[in-house]
Structure formats: C-alpha cells, structure tokens
Structure 1
Amino acid sequence: MSDPSNTLAWLDQPHTGETVTYRDCAGQSHKLPVRYPRVTAVTQAQGREIAPHLFWCSFALDGFHFCDRIDLYSIIEPGKQALLIDTGHYDLCGMTFLDDLLAQTGTPWETVDVFLTHLHDDHTGNVPYCLHQGARGLMRGACDPYDPRNVQAFLQETGAAAVQDTALDAFVAMLLGKDNPLYEALPTVREVDAGDSLDYGGYHLEVLETPGHTFEHRCLLEPERGILFAGDHIIVATPGVMQFQRDQQLLRRYLESLHMLRNSGLRTVYLSHHEALSSTDDIVRLIDRIATTYEKPLEKTRAIVAEQGPVTIYATAAASCRHLPGGLAGLANGMRSRRVATTFGYLEYLADTGWARRHTADDGALVYEKAN
C-alpha cells in the first residue's frame, strides 16, 4: 500500500460554510464541510467484540433521510493490524470512536487498512480523518473517474434533456463522483476485484464483485465461517438500483448475485444499516424479500412500455409517477433523479432479459418497446 501522505493534498482544500475541525496525528488542524447538520446520533455499541478479533460499532440516527442507523465492523489483531470495513461519516457518528476502538485494542493507526464497500458518503465520510491519523491506505472496487460528459450523456439518453429537465445534473454528478477524489486513480487507493483476498485476524476474506447498489460495490466473504460483510448489497429498503449509463446490466447482475448469495449457505451477514442476520433461514428470507420488491416496479414498467412504447426512460418515469401529487415534476430534484435512474435500470433489465428492445432516437435518447 502506498504512503498516504503522498496524496493528502486533496484533503486540505478550502471549504465554505459550516465546518468540522479535527487534528491529525502531527497536531495540525483540518476542516471538513458539514453535510448533514440536522442529523443526531446515539451510540448503540462502541467497539464491542462480537467474535474473536471482530468488533462492532453502531449508531442510531435521527434526521438522516436515507437510513435510521449505521453499523460498522472492524477486524483487529490487537497491537498488530486492523481492517476497517467502511468508515462512517463525521456528521453521522463522529470520528473519535475510531480512535477509541483502536486504543482499546492497543492498535496503532499506522497498521490500519480501510476497505470501502462502496463510495456513498455515509460509508466514506471519515476517510480524510483515517488518512490524517496515519492509516496505511484504502481499498475499493474499480470505478471510473468523474467525467462531466457522463452527466450530459445521462440527461440525453434518458430523455431529460429533450424536456429540458437539466435540474437533475447536480444530483447525478454527485453520484458519479464529482468533487470526490476517491473515484480517482490515487496512489492511496488500491482497487480490489473478484478473486482478490485479504487476511486479517484469522479471517480469510474473499472479495466479491457485487454491483447494484452502486456500480463499484464490493462485499467480503469469509467462506469457512459462512460470513458476509454485505455493505449495502443486502439492505432493508425500497428498490434502489440506480443506473446512470447504458449497457451496465446493473439490475440483472444485482439480482443474479443475490440469488448466488441466497444459495451459498451463509450463516451470518453483517449489514451496514440493520442488525446482523445470524441464521441461514433469516438470510434467505431477507434476500427473497429484497428480490420480491422488484417484481411490482418491473411489472409496472412492462405495462407502461406495452401501452406507450416506443418510450423514453424519462417518459416511463413520468408515467410511473402519475399517481403522485404533481407527478414526476413535483418531486424534488434529488428524488426525481433517483426515479429516472431507477427507471433506467428497470428498462435496461427488460432489454437485457429479452422482454424489450432498445434503440437510439435521433436526439440521442434511448427508446424502449416490447420485443414481440
């Protein structure tokens, strides 16, 4: 792992507005922007050893739109080395709980590695703090650096540009990595893919490529113990696979990986926003429940395409929102972007599985119709 100090300059960009201040291992002061000022957190578990060398921290959240808790896991060989699986976010759970976790095990920051299941900020927000305290480096799945042309392609291909709904671009840009150096090919960052493995504290962890919640999502599997560190791949939530580019086959790959995990004999799954699942039956039930949640929106999408096709992604999203006050246009920019991006995923799934066919209109929008 490369020396993180070689690439820390990106952590020290000036910020405007309210900030959080902390000191690094050399006593220098640093600032981070406040992202979620209305969120409050209550510690539910602080560095609890739930299995040999496996530690759990948990926080109940109030005022965070996306979830009501955050659960973080670490594998620590006291005094020797540690693997943090995601970092949390300073607005959601603070930062110093990480110092407390390492202090209670006598483990120096210089022996700490960080594995990021994906790049949403509730999982990566404390990365600057970790690096400034001396963590060795980061691991994450492969992803493309931010490119504004991808945002414009999304607007054009979904049909949003044709109806001049350019207000989506800021949210889409954020989710495609704008102003997030973790998407860049930094020496600090090591890409991990299926087939890679990690060994910490007697755990042999295999990296699983699990796109769906995000394109770069990765899980860690301990096959001998039947343990999965699931990140947000297995999550108790409404359907949320958002697709931003054509031909990613994101929903198909997501459902296929869920089916694989369902039949793999898992005994314990550690989730990021839910209590751990500690029986195969509970794991199978939750995976089945997640898969089932996609049946209704896919059937609704099929009906819209059958009735209105050829139809764009944006027009399909609008038709699916007719029951809402104000329809699609009445949704806030972020929620409207999500609705269009999830519709993109549904339509690509129908094309990937042969139910629909896709072509490109003269204005660059993707258009879908029933295949037969």
Structure 2
Amino acid sequence: MSRPDWFQVAVAGPDAFLIAEPGHVNSYLLLGDELALLYDTGMGIGDIHEQVRRLTRLPLLVVNSHHHFDHRGGNASLAWHAEDIAVHADGAALHTDPAPREWLEAYAHIAHDMRKQYEEFRALDTGGFFLTDSRVEVRPVPELADWRIEAVRPTRLLREGDVLDLGGRRLKVLHTPGHSPDGICLWEPETGLLLAGDTLISGTFFAHVPGADVAAFADSTRRLGELPVTTALLGHNLRHRESADFVDRVAEAFAAVRDGRTCPYASTDMFGVPVRRHDFDGFAVLTAPCGTDH
C-alpha cells in the first residue's frame, strides 16, 4: 500500500530518522557508512520500504524490537530488499503467524476512534495551548479493507551483547524482556543513543498482555537506567524522544509496581481488556487483574 502521507518523517539525531505513524508506532532509521538499520517496521498500513528508500540507498538491515504485529507490519514490504530481518532468538518462533483478521478489525476501529479523539483534542488545543501542529498530527485513517500483516520468517537471530556494525557506527543488542520475552533495545555507547521499542514508551505500558512480566520489566528498565543515556527514542505515542531522567523514572515506577508500592485501580486497555492501572507522571503501567496470570 503506497500511502506516503500516512508517515511522519523527521530527523531524530545525526544520521538518524524517525519514521512515525503518528499516534500508532514509531520506527527509526539509522545510517552508517556501509549499512542502514531500520528498527521496527510499523503497522503495514503504508509502504515503509518506500519511505526508507527516499532517505537512503544503503543496504538495509531490519531489526524488530519484538514480535508484536504493530512492530513487524512492514516486514513483508522489506523482505525482498533487506540484507536481513533480525529478531531476538527468543522470538524466532513468534514470527510465524500473520495477524488474525479480528485483531486487524479491532485495531482499525481503535485507529478511527483515535483520529476522532485527536480532532476533539485539537479543537480544544487551538483555544490557547497550541500543543499540536502538523508535525505531530494523528493521521486520518485510510481504507483498511485490504490491510494485512503477513508472517515473514526472520533471517538472522540476535542475542544479548551482539554488535551490529553499520560502518562508522556500532550498536549493541540488549535483551530487555518485560513487555514481551523477546524484547530488544539497541544501544550506541559512543553517542548515548538508545532505541527502546516498547521497553520505554510515553503512554501506557502494556505489562498485562500474554508474555509480559512485571518483574522482568523492572529488571530491564533498571538496567537501562544504569546506562549513560543522552537520548531515548520510544516505540509509541507522539512524544517519541526522552532523556535519561525519563528512563530513571520508568525504572523507579516498575520497581514500585513490582514491590506493591502503588495504588492501582480497575480500568481497561485500548482493546477493552480489563486491567489494573498504575498512574505515574507522564505515563501509566497496565497490569493484569488479580487472579490473572501472564
């Protein structure tokens, strides 16, 4: 599907680009001297390959932060062009299924509601706050009757400590389970850049879905908090860029949730699934209701 206006493309740092589906998923393109790296491929609603080729003609390495459909939706458009599609070894078997029709239909409904809510918010915003502009606009939702997210077999398995050499820049693979067992972040020690996927997001952390683990989330975010992060690039929401202070606050929040030091209340996630919601300054953690084991 060629929908170039679905994406928001912006500079995210030196030789780094945000390729966002605003309000949905943030993917990132990093350029080395010899190789480009695309971290996550988004929803598959638009052709992310087309966007990448507008930015670089370098050979391409695709890395999925984890196996969830919204982060590998563009894999099919890149399968014939990428040098490799790389995932954590724990996620290899989790990439074998296409997105079921009921999930696609549910998300399409959510996307339409998100656009409607954004329009209502923007109408209020123009009354004086001016937090929104065209750079962060949640896009109108195109016709999604032909939307598919196909299973694409990974061609490379990554493990903790692997180094991805792009020529002139090197990124280290960090295994960061919590949101999912196969979660990985990419860390560039020379610049302090952290590609965080869903291990860090500026919204609601899904710690209640199958495969999620609050204790693992706490360990992973604590580990990220110990790094000298200068810039963290996040996997979701309009606020895609954060600093070390945010990483520290997320780590402290997950430790509090793990240790029972919060006051959660009953709520639902965006799909209507019952959760316990733990609110913090600028984000929330969703966990499974009591008696539910994930």
For the aligned pair, the TM-score class normalised by the smaller chain equals 0.5 to 0.7
Aligned residue among 240, 246, 265 for 1:275: 240
Task: Read off the aligned partner of 1:57 and give its amino acid letter.
Answer: I
User: Cα RMSD between the aligned structures?
Assistant: 3.9
Establish whether residue 218 from structure 1 lines up as the match of residue 184 from structure 2.
yes
Corresponding position of 2:122: none
Offset of residue 196 of structure 1? 1.3
Aligned residue among 97, 109, 125 for 2:73: 125
> How is 1:1-16 mapped onto 2 (pairs within 5 angstroms)?
none
Gaps in structure 2 of 5+ consecutive residues = 96-101, 107-148, 277-285
- Are the equivalent residues in 1 in contact too, given 2:175–2:183 (CA < 8 A)? yes
- Are the equivalent residues in 1 in contact too, given 2:178–2:220 (CA < 8 A)? no
SS in 2 for 1:181: coil
- Are the equivalent residues in 1 in contact too, given 2:41–2:73 (CA < 8 A)? yes
- Are the equivalent residues in 2 in contact too, given 1:244–1:344 (CA < 8 A)? no
> How is 1:1-372 mapped onto 2 (pairs within 5 angstroms)?
20=1, 43-46=7-10, 48=11, 50-51=13-14, 53-60=15-22, 68-77=23-32, 80-91=34-45, 95-102=49-56, 106-107=57-58, 111-132=59-80, 134-141=81-88, 142-143=90-91, 145=93, 181-182=151-152, 186=153, 188-244=154-210, 250-273=213-236, 274-277=239-242, 279-289=243-253, 321=266, 334-336=271-273, 342-343=287-288
Task: Read off the aligned partner of 1:72 and give its amino acid letter.
Answer: S
Task: Point out the structure with max Rg over C-alpha.
Answer: 1
Which structure has more relative contact order (CA 8 Å, sep 6+)? It is 2
Offset of residue 95 of structure 1? 4.9
> Per the alignment, do residues 219 and 49 of structure 1 end up closer, same or farther by CA in structure 2, a change over 3 Å counting?
closer
Deviations 1:298-340 (A, max 9, x none): 655xxxxxxxxxxxxxxxxxxx75xx7xxx9xx99x533777x
- Are the equivalent residues in 1 in contact too, given 2:37–2:61 (CA < 8 A)? yes
- Are the equivalent residues in 1 in contact too, given 2:8–2:18 (CA < 8 A)? no
What is the distance in 1 between the residues matched to 2:44 and 2:197?
Answer: 18
Identity %: 23
Q: What TM-score comes out, normalization by structure 2 length? A: 0.64
> Per the alignment, do residues 180 and 238 of structure 1 end up closer, same or farther by CA in structure 2, a change over 3 Å counting?
same
SS in 2 for 1:143: helix
Gaps in structure 1 of 5+ consecutive residues = 1-19, 23-38, 61-67, 148-169, 301-319, 350-372
Offset of residue 40 of structure 1? 11
SS in 2 for 1:71: strand
Offset of residue 209 of structure 1? 0.9
Q: When you count helix as a share of all residues, which structure comes out higher?
A: 1
What is the distance in 1 between the residues matched to 2:254 and 2:203?
Answer: 8
Count residues with an aligned counterpart: 232
What is the distance in 2 between the residues matched to 1:84 and 1:253?
Answer: 26
What is the distance in 2 between the residues matched to 1:86 and 1:253?
Answer: 22
Corresponding position of 1:5: none
Q: What TM-score comes out, normalization by structure 1 length? A: 0.52
Deviations 1:142-197 (A, max 9, x none): 226369xxxxxxxxxxxxxxxxxxxxxx76xx9xxxx9634xxx4x4212111211
SS in 2 for 1:128: helix
Task: Read off the aligned partner of 2:272 and give its amino acid letter.
Answer: M
- Are the equivalent residues in 1 in contact too, given 2:165–2:171 (CA < 8 A)? yes
